[in-house]
Amino acid sequence: MRIQRLATRRGRLRPGETFESPRTGARLAVEEVSPAALVVERLYRPGMGGARVHVHLDFTETYVVQRGVADARLDDLRLRLTADRPTLRIPPGVPHVNPRNADTADLVMQQRFEPPTEGALAYVRTLGEVLLDGRDDDGDLPMALVLAVFDATGGRTYLSRLPFGLQRRVLQPLGAAVAGARGYAVWLPE
């Protein structure tokens, strides 16, 4: 079996750009791209969102629910975000699970990355392209492609229960190989 090398492309995120999945209806709209922050609006249909427990070491991530109900986890604390209690701020180094739409109505929330690292910019641009292709995993990147993004950028986002060195040396390159075999590409910032 021949392993296909993971393709990389370059692209810039621009405010006003919108990416929507024709298959799942998930949407991502770019609101701000500046040296201080990357801000996007996400639409999750019922049952979408969430992630494995992970940690970012190089940026703060903030979610603000604009419409709907989101369930999330910050360390071992389970949270429900609503219009009355809309904000989840995740400092670097804190294990968490991204908000999930466990409700029966759509969830619209703002997601903010501060500062907008190369890994965060590549994650969002790659997600946008995957949404357009309808190859998203319920509004998010397939796990192999998440690993490939952080492998390609040297981003410091890791699953929280495995040694980071093992992930950097083994798991992320393996994810890149799987993503390449499945025909995905990582979009790097211009």
- The answer to whether residue 176 is domain-embedded is yes
- CATH number of the domain that residue 92 is part of: 2.60.120.10
User: In the beta sheet, which residues pair with residue 15?
Assistant: none
Residue 107 has pLDDT above 70, yes or no: yes
In whole angstroms, give the CA distance from residue 27 to residue 140.
Answer: 10
Single-letter residue type at 25 = G
- The average pLDDT across 71-84 equals 94
Q: DSSP of 78-107, one letter per residue?
A: EEEE-SSS-EEEE-TT--EEEEE--SSS-E
| pLDDT value at 101 more than 70 | yes
User: How many domains does the chain contain in total?
Assistant: 1
Average pLDDT over residues 43-65: 96
- pLDDT for 3 equals 56
The answer to whether residue 73 sits within a structural domain is yes
* Averaged pLDDT score across all residues of the chain: 95
Q: What is the pLDDT of residue 2?
A: 52
Give the domain extent around 33: 9-185
